Structure 1
């Protein structure tokens, strides 16, 4: 039997998975269940093999998890799942490294749902489904998107609010930590001189943020207490004047749930363009609204990069990752054009691989 690690990344309507060999972490299978809650479908393949597609009966994460396990059982090549690693967006101040899931951990993470309403419930749903379907003998491990940013200087973790609120958890946490942790490992391996230097990393996808890194550690980042802060994203607004939120409540009669839906689901590129949050579609569309949304996104990314450079005392490299960062060359070029006043610096594109980072974390915990 080949000991293996299963990684899961649960979203509101999707469940992505990878199967890695525990020794050496060779990728053995990958796939995703899409359109959970609707016409759900599993698309999966063994490493190097053809794609397998199948409808998924049932409309929740438990059904999606069952479909993943059924695929693994049907295509098992002598694997033995020894652990399941889950991407959990928010670990708060208590969880600053990957950790085995216990009832206390689950309770603590559920209390953080208000800080990550778009992500946290689905990660917890995947854990519940895994525990029910695989039993207690297979450990579940939580890998946190906030953990990489723990330990930053207090200058980068506070809002300009009374200290009592900071003590109650109103603070800047930062996200996309698994992605930045992977970038730090790749830089240390392939570009050690840059790894030691002043790196501004941009994880640009449907969720987007920037991170100032030195010696493989987070110094500053654009996201704050929640994953809606910072630069504009696919459907999320990014930073908005708090007064605008108050105006929506007091003068426009919008309830908190309506405002939450607006800033998480109906803003960003989708809201500004009036068309889509898909950058490829916006580039192809070419309408004035689509061009404006992309121009705005590029400008805000560049402004944020300049802010990260100030936190580092300069910039030696700009690293792009994520779906937009890796694949949308015109957007990268527009960002770099705006960054010209910062002088010369290296530019790299490094594919995101949060799943492998989770497998690395899981293997270390098992060992």
Structure 2
């Protein structure tokens, strides 16, 4: 049975899952965390047994070597040749890549060029590609772009009201991200329910990074992230939407460079910037319970922004059949789901308090006109499916 390796390379991490296809069985999965440090943590699970080690891992090439050794030593594979394909999550495909594509030197060069649009993600995605290319040279590599699922968004939703020449010259437009997650959510709703619930879906991917996506008949028609993953919702450390004139105002008042402003918006804003406590929703909820007013305000802004996008995207869809919460916060934070849904009664959204507290799949109240679901995302499975599709084409 051919095996496909799904890879998600971060700046200091490497997440992987090996699938036996087409059965989609997970053979082994794991994470190399804190790459570049002497106390890098490597964890993996194989046949129900979890393994953990701490060691120095200086770069992504060493991390890939660690993963490759574990695949062989554990018995997950007998020979490297069993892995026929490696699917890589790549953040930004720009206008060039509206679907997953096999990686060639030309594709690698383009991913590198697109780093201008996604400086926090594309460069490290490329590191993962190059490292596996060296250590598993016989496996075909496929780029699965975050942006591809959103290539169906109409121009009225993706264009910014800037001089048109900037769209022509630089491709400045809304692209959207978390594509694999939103794609998986649609596939799961479609698999579990009939068309009464799968035609008009709003998917809320709420983690440290967060986005909302409107999905109509299986296609993304709008999403909250934009030209970069900074736009849209309030996130852990990212600002989400702000008045663009704030940026030159701050630069002038605080004598900030473009890099300084970028650092503030991406790393010092969001829940962390508003609360002064943490970028983690759990910490901010605890601080609020302890009487911290800034934490309370941060959560109010956070929830209100999610509600605003859900309302707007219901208009884009011409109604709402299913509302889905996914990713770390969406899957595990009953208080956030409760607060978001509390103001959506006019859309027909009503949740069952007990089901919500238990993180059930279906948290809809019996009289809710909209189905409200909690579905754990599985971006790695989408990567494996997309890789298999490209290899078979």
TM-score above 0.5, yes or no: yes
Q: How far did residue 19 of structure 1 move?
A: 0.7
The residue aligned with 2:56 is 57
For the Cα contact (< 8 Å) 2:27–2:47, is it kept in 1? yes
Verify the 8 A CA contact 1:118 1:264 in the aligned structure 2.
Answer: no
Alignment of structure 1 residues 128-277 onto 2, 5 Å: 128-135=130-137, 137-168=138-169, 169-194=171-196, 196-277=198-279
Match in the other structure for 2:23: 24
Task: Verify the 8 A CA contact 1:170 1:225 in the aligned structure 2.
Answer: yes
Aligned to 2:330: 325
Distance 1:104 1:364 in 2: 20
Give the drift of 1:78: 3.9
CA deviations over 1:299-355 (Å, ceiling 9, x no partner): 110011111111112222211111110000100111111222323422111110000
Question: Which residue in 1 is equivalent to 2:33?
Answer: 34
TM-superposed deviation, 1:194? 4.4
Mapped pair 1:48 → 2:48: yes
Could you tell me how far 1:196 is from its partner in structure 2?
4.2
2-structure distance, mates of 1:297, 1:320: 15
Contact 1:232 1:268 in 2 (8 A): yes
Q: How does 1:302-341 map to 2 (within 5 A)?
A: 302-341=307-346
Aligned length: 364
2:107 to 98, 105, 108: 105
Report the counterpart of residue 94 of structure 2 in structure 1: 92
**SS of residue paired to 2:27:** strand
Alignment deviations for residues 142-181 of structure 1 (CA, whole Å, 9 cap, x no partner): 0011000112211111001122222220101111110111
**Deviation (angstroms), 1:265:** 1.1
Q: How far 1:83 moved relative to its partner?
A: 1.0
- Please report how far the alpha carbon of residue 191 of structure 1 lies from its aligned counterpart in structure 2 after TM superposition: 1.4
Encode CA deviations 1:86-134: one digit per residue, 9 max, x unaligned: 0001000110111110010011111111211111111011001111121
TM-score (norm 2): 0.90
Name the stretch that deviates more: 84-93 or 273-282.
Answer: 273-282
Deviation above 3 Å: which 4+ runs of structure 1? none
CA distance in 1, matches of 2:177, 2:77: 36
2:14 match: 15
Q: What RMSD in Å do the two structures reach over aligned CA positions?
A: 1.4
TM-score by length of 1: 0.96
- Contact 1:112/1:120 (<8 A) preserved: yes
CA contact (8 A) 2:181 2:378 kept: yes
Could you list the runs of 5+ residues in structure 2 that have no partner in the other structure? 349-368
